Amino acid sequence: MASLTLKKNYRCVPSLEQFYTGGPFAVSSDGSFIACACDESIRIVDSSNASIRSTIDSDSEAHTALALSPDDKLLFSAGHSHQIRVWDLSTLNNVRSWKGHNSPVMAMACHVSGGLLATAGADGNVFVWDVDGGFCTHSFKGHKGVVSSIMFHPDPDKLLFFSGGADATVRVWDLLTKECLATFRKHESAVTSMAISEDGWILLTAGRDKVVNLWDLHDYGFKKTVLTYEVLEAVCTIHSGSPFASSLALFSQRSGKKASGSSEIHFITVGERGIVRIWNSERAVCLFEQKSSDITDSSDMDRGFTSAVMLPFDQGLLCVTADQQFLFYSPVENPEEMFKLILSRRLVGYNEEIVDMKFLGEEEQFLAVATNLEQVRVYDLTAMSCSYVLAGHTETVLCLDTCVSSSGRTLIVTGSKDNNVRLWESESRCCVGVGVGHMGAVGAVAFSKKQKNFFVSGSSDRTLKVWSLDGLLDGVEQPLNLKAKAVVAAHDKDINCLAVAPNDSLVCSGSQDRTACIWRLPDLVSVVVLKGHKRGIWSVEFSPVEQCVITASGDKTIKIWSISDGSCLKTFEGHTSSVLRASFLTRGTQFVSCGADGLVKLWTVKTNECIATYDKHEDKVWALAIGKKTEMLATGGSDAVINLWYDCTSDDKEEAFRKEEEGVLKGQELENAVSDADYTKAIQIAFELRRPHKLFELFAELFRKREAEIQMDKALNAIGQGEFRLLFEYVREWNTKPKLCHVAQFVLFRVFNILPPTEIIEIKGIGELLEGLIPYSHRHFSRIDRHVRSTFLLDYTLTGMSVIEPEINAKEREEDESLMHSDVKDLDDMILTENFDSEQNQTSEEPKVSLKKRKSKKSKESSSKKVKGVAYTKVDAISLQA
């Protein structure tokens, strides 16, 4: 058998996070992303896979209205602080804000030009603002209640504005004259939505009075009322050329109904019933109605649609539900039904607390998730969208398990607080069996691992039940009543977890009574009791190859037990809070654990070593799923986040080898550049290789060369803007050492000469870097000042020793030299005169020869001393300038 490769690292890929908690949202002009209110922040979400592109954090306030500019560059938001904020989506910065209303803003709309923004408040006022200036251009007053819906005319040539409110009126305003042109009063309840026909002359208004009214904008007269018998939340018109219009035309041809004329309008309504309906304005009839709602919990009347938007570029219809789901509908041709809407994508904005999850299917491309709801959501991991929902339980689903039966059917079993277990079939997406018998909430279920013909359930009533799958038929219309083959009172407290052995001979149960029990199947005979944990046991699992069981407990430990005698073989410590899940990997040689501390840990059994710790959750991690084929991980918890983890051990190894190979090649290239004295290229390569020591050597070499400034500027101009921050980090480190500070200061001086201050302040973290440079630079300059002052004593000493003379300026030096030359000339004349006189005295006075000779000798010595002194003063003074 080939040796096993231990896993060393997992990488978290784009995960499922909460992005919408209800309230306002805005769809981009191309339908590629959605801006959603999520608690006190705004999430920019990719509409194709629910991935979060960016997050805008506001000042701890819930948002009441959102709108996007036509070019999708600006986002407008308003909340309970009454501030209207403008966000730049490229930088996520708040570019401007102003106070708009004295009450919360309930609706927003942006003009087609992008220059005007309209806001409607709960005080009944509507203001139109100049986006660039932030000042009010129009103030429309007249509504007597909350203004719930506003809209600019989509045609920029028609300067009309519409507003509908809780006073059941719709008002038409002229943007030029700032006057109310008409007031429509046919509604009996709040107006919730408005739409304009394709030709721009018919206004459709929908309200909670269960009707849609049509108005003629030529004379502002009433045209027709369409009864819908449903509280409406949104109305959308269908334009010609869209897939909806094409499908409706084909539907009309097949049904033998001809269009009434060019004035015929088709529109869509959604509301409290949670279904999509398409209407014809001329005949005031419903052309299409969904047979059933795609909203899973349709028992509550408030769980319908809250809004709907027709997406651009033929992307279909987007409907938003009260339970924070985005449903994308597209029409398809169906020969049988002639017109059919399919749910192409479902994005769940909020999952609440995730309590359990399992991979689903042969290829494990689906993930079944149990949350704090009465339903199970099945996600498609390729599109990261919710494929379908399994609804049937009347209370919260607490646990689930999945398997592929011997006949190839993908089955899901769930346990709930309603004391029942339900068996589901993935292909038909319906419940095929119900198990009734527990007297408490079912907290644990586990399928058979080998024969796949039974499952085990554990409950808060402290009993275990074995349920048979015999007699399960395909295509049943009503779920069968499952039968329990064996029952046993297993523990003294609630049962938290179950695991079936790989050969289906044993089942292990973990309980809040701090014990785990192993039972022989199928008659549930006790084999051994595992005692040793100090808190309740949250997770149990059999090893796939060894005769042992792993348990995770609330005492922060993980233990591995022997099945034969119930002894504890190993204990693992490392979590700082309760360990909630533990599961084997790599054929039992490793395992992964997660806990209430929000950490996911990867362990090696043989060495008792935790080789990796991941902190990607902000709260308890309740759920852990491991793919049997891919060994991909999925974790979820109280933070409503689902993280997917892929084994990247081999990828990391290949990446390290590739980087090492590139490093060798780059290193050789660096040495070649240094030998060729190509310092610009060498510095670039040193930056790429992140070698600060080599970089310092290159800068020091440049520092010692002639024309160092020119070569240094050339080298610095060649590096990118992003590398200047790295250079500042290196310079900060060099500047701390006296031996290296001269080069550091030289590099810093040249950088400040090259980069303008505006670019320097844009470098990320430049403030912190400069704070580290300033104190050491002060210290270096202070030391230099002390050395300079110390040289003054040497100057004074050398001057006093006549080695040097004090420095004087050029003018004084010229005067001294001219004076010196004149003194020398006078001395020469004096010497010649004295010599001539001495000769005369020698000829005239012979007796005094010896005396004369002595005098002349003295005069010569004195003159020679004078000449020597004068000659010495001609030596250039030694300058000690720095």
Q: Give the model confidence (pLDDT) of 413-441 as tens digits.
A: 999 999 999 999 998 888 999 999 999 99
Q: Which one has a higher pLDDT value, 427 or 841?
A: 427
Q: Is the pLDDT of residue 157 over 70?
A: yes
Is the Cβ–Cβ distance between 374 and 303 less than 8 Å? no
- What single-letter amino acid sits at 50? A
What pLDDT is stored for residue 687 in this prediction?
Answer: 83
What pLDDT is stored for residue 712 in this prediction?
Answer: 81
Q: How far apart are CA 495 and CA 516, in angstroms?
A: 9
User: Picking from 86-100, 145-159, 261-275, 616-630, which range would have the lowest pLDDT averaged per residue?
Assistant: 261-275
Is the Cβ–Cβ distance between 307 and 326 less than 8 Å? no
Q: Is the pLDDT of residue 251 over 80?
A: no
What pLDDT is stored for residue 13 in this prediction?
Answer: 83
204 beta partners:
195, 214
Question: DSSP letter string over 455-485?
Answer: EEEEETTSEEEEEE-TT--TT-SS-EE--EE
Is the Cβ–Cβ distance between 345 and 382 less than 8 Å? no
Q: How far apart are CA 43 and CA 29, in angstroms?
A: 17
Is the Cβ–Cβ distance between 355 and 372 less than 8 Å? yes
Q: Is the pLDDT of residue 844 over 80?
A: no
374-422 pLDDT, tens digit each: 999 999 988 888 999 999 999 999 999 999 988 888 999 999 999 999 9
Q: How many CB atoms lie within 10 A of CB 298?
A: 15
What is the mean pLDDT of the segment spanning 561-565? 94
Q: Which one has a higher pLDDT value, 233 or 821?
A: 233
- What single-letter amino acid sits at 675? S
Q: Is the pLDDT of residue 67 over 90?
A: yes
Q: How far apart are CA 617 and CA 599, in angstroms?
A: 7
38 beta partners:
41
What is the mean pLDDT of the segment spanning 53-60? 85
pLDDT band at 254 (very low <50, low <70, confident <90, very high): low
Q: Is the pLDDT of residue 756 over 60?
A: yes
Question: DSSP letter string over 201-232?
Answer: -EEEEEETTSEEEEEETTTTEEEEEEE-SS-E
Q: Is the pLDDT of residue 46 over 90?
A: yes
pLDDT band at 256 (very low <50, low <70, confident <90, very high): low
Q: Which one has a higher pLDDT value, 600 or 701?
A: 600
Highest mean pLDDT among 245-259, 321-335, 598-612, 724-738: 598-612
pLDDT band at 876 (very low <50, low <70, confident <90, very high): very low
What pLDDT is stored for residue 879 in this prediction?
Answer: 41
Q: What percent of the chain has pLDDT over 70?
A: 87
The candidate with the shortest Cα–Cα distance to 543, out of 606, 494, 609, is: 606
Burial (CB count within 10 angstroms: exposed 0-12, middle 13-18, buried 19+), residue 62 = middle
537-557 pLDDT, tens digit each: 999 999 999 999 999 999 999
Q: Is the pLDDT of residue 667 over 80?
A: yes
What pLDDT is stored for residue 529 in this prediction?
Answer: 95
Q: How far apart are CA 267 and CA 503, in angstroms?
A: 59
What pLDDT is stored for residue 257 in this prediction?
Answer: 56
What pLDDT is stored for residue 817 in this prediction?
Answer: 58
Q: Which one has a higher pLDDT value, 124 or 853?
A: 124
User: Picking from 365-369, 391-395, 724-728, 874-878, which range would have the lowest pLDDT averaged per residue?
Assistant: 874-878
User: Picking from 199-203, 370-374, 824-828, which range would have the lowest pLDDT averaged per residue?
Assistant: 824-828
304-320 pLDDT, tens digit each: 899 999 998 888 999 99
Q: How far apart are CA 613 and CA 503, in angstroms?
A: 32
User: Picking from 705-709, 713-717, 824-828, which range would have the lowest pLDDT averaged per residue?
Assistant: 824-828
Cα angle, residue 94 at apex, residues 89 and 99 outer, rounded to 5°: 130
User: Picking from 268-272, 344-348, 759-763, 808-812, which range would have the lowest pLDDT averaged per residue?
Assistant: 808-812
Mean pLDDT over each residue of the chain, to the nearest integer: 86
Is the Cβ–Cβ distance between 594 and 575 less than 8 Å? no
Q: Is the pLDDT of residue 476 over 50?
A: yes
- Its pTM stands at 0.76
What is the mean pLDDT of the segment spanning 332-348? 80
In 58-157, which ranges are E strands?
63-68, 74-79, 83-88, 93-99, 105-110, 116-121, 125-130, 136-141, 147-152
DSSP classification of residue 742: H
Q: Which one has a higher pLDDT value, 255 or 831?
A: 255
Q: What percent of the chain has pLDDT over 90?
A: 54
Is the Cβ–Cβ distance between 16 and 384 less than 8 Å? yes
